[in-house]
A and B are shown apart, each in its own frame.
Chain A
Amino acid sequence: MNKNWSAFNIVSVVFGFTFLYLPIVLLIVYSFNASKLVTVWGGFSTHWYSEMLSNQGLMDAAWVTARVGLLSATVATVLGTLAALTLVRHTRFRGRTLFTGMVYAPLVMPEVITGLSLLLLFVSIGFERGFWTVSLAHITFSMCFVAVVVQSRLVSYDMSLEEAAQDLGCTPFEAFYKITLPVILPAVIAGWMLAFTLSLDDLVIASFTSGPGATTLPMKIFSQVRLGVTPEINAVCTVLIGFVATGVIIASLINKRRMVNNARTDADI
Chain B
Amino acid sequence: MTVRGFSFSAPFFKPDVPFMKSLGSTRRSFTPWLDADAKPYISFQNVTKKFGDFVAVDNLTLNIYEREFYSLLGPSGCGKTTLLRMLAGFEEPSSGEIFLDGVSLKGVPPHKRPVNMMFQSYALFPHMSVRDNIAFGLKQAGIAKAQITERVDAILKLVKLEEFAKRKPDQLSGGQRQRVALARSVVLRPKLLLLDEPLGALDKKLREETQFELMDLQQDLGLTFMIVTHDQEEAMTMSDRIAVMDKGTVIQTGTPAEIYEAPNSRYVADFIGTVNTFEGKVVEKTDKMTTLLGNDGFTIEAVTTDRSALTKDKMAWFSIRPEKIKVSRKKPEKQTNAVEGEIWDIGYLGDMTLFNVKLDSGTIMRASVLNAKRTVDDPIGYEDRVWLSFDPDAGIVLER
The answer on direct contact between A and B (beta carbons under 8 Å) is yes
User: Are the CB atoms of B166 and A167 closer together than 8 Å?
Assistant: no
Q: Type the 1/0 row for A148-176, where 1 means its CB is closer than 8 Å to any CB of B.
A: 00000000001011011111111110110
- Count of interface residues, chain A, beta-carbon cutoff 8 Å: 22
- Flag whether A183 is at the interface (Cβ < 8 A): yes
Nearest B residue to A92 by beta-carbon distance? B52
CB-CB < 8 A to B141: which residues of A? 169
User: Are the CB atoms of B171 and A262 closer together than 8 Å?
Assistant: yes
Separation of A161 and B119 alpha carbons in the complex (Å)? 9
User: Are the CB atoms of A168 and B171 closer together than 8 Å?
Assistant: no
- Flag whether A182 is at the interface (Cβ < 8 A): yes
Q: Type the 1/0 row for B125-160, where 1 means its CB is closer than 8 Å to any CB of A.
A: 111000000001100110000000000000000000
User: Are the CB atoms of A166 and B111 closer together than 8 Å?
Assistant: yes
B167 to chain A, nearest CB (A): 6
Q: Type the 1/0 row for A248-269, where 1 means its CB is closer than 8 Å to any CB of B.
A: 0000000000000010011001
CB-CB < 8 A to A265: which residues of B? 166-168, 171
- Flag whether A179 is at the interface (Cβ < 8 A): yes
A181 to chain B, nearest CB (A): 10
Partner of B125, one of A161, A166, A167, A172: A161
Q: Known interface pairs A161-B123, A161-B125. Does A167 touch B170 (Cβ–Cβ under 8 Å)?
A: no
Partner of B166, one of A161, A171, A172, A269: A269
A68 to chain B, nearest CB (A): 32
User: Are the CB atoms of A167 and B111 closer together than 8 Å?
Assistant: yes
- Flag whether B315 is at the interface (Cβ < 8 A): no
- Flag whether B386 is at the interface (Cβ < 8 A): no
Separation of A50 and B167 alpha carbons in the complex (Å)? 52
Sample (29) of A-B pairs whose CB atoms are under 8 Å apart: A158-B121, A163-B110, A163-B117, A164-B119, A164-B125, A165-B125, A166-B90, A166-B109, A166-B110, A166-B111, A167-B88, A167-B115, A167-B116, A167-B185, A168-B116, A169-B111, A169-B141, A170-B111, A171-B111, A174-B111, A175-B111, A183-B125, A262-B171, A265-B167, A265-B168, A266-B167, A266-B171, A269-B163, A269-B166
- Flag whether B120 is at the interface (Cβ < 8 A): yes
- Flag whether B164 is at the interface (Cβ < 8 A): yes
User: Are the CB atoms of B119 and A163 closer together than 8 Å?
Assistant: yes
Separation of A29 and B163 alpha carbons in the complex (Å)? 56
Separation of A169 and B171 alpha carbons in the complex (Å)? 26
Nearest A residue to B90 by beta-carbon distance? A163
Nearest A residue to B140 by beta-carbon distance? A169
B346 to chain A, nearest CB (A): 45
- Flag whether B188 is at the interface (Cβ < 8 A): yes
- Flag whether B184 is at the interface (Cβ < 8 A): yes
CB-CB < 8 A to A158: which residues of B? 121, 123
CB-CB < 8 A to A269: which residues of B? 163-164, 166-167, 171
B198 to chain A, nearest CB (A): 13
CB-CB < 8 A to B120: which residues of A? 160
CB-CB < 8 A to B167: which residues of A? 265-266, 269
User: Are the CB atoms of A170 and B127 closer together than 8 Å?
Assistant: no
B residues 67-94 with Cβ under 8 Å of A?
88-90
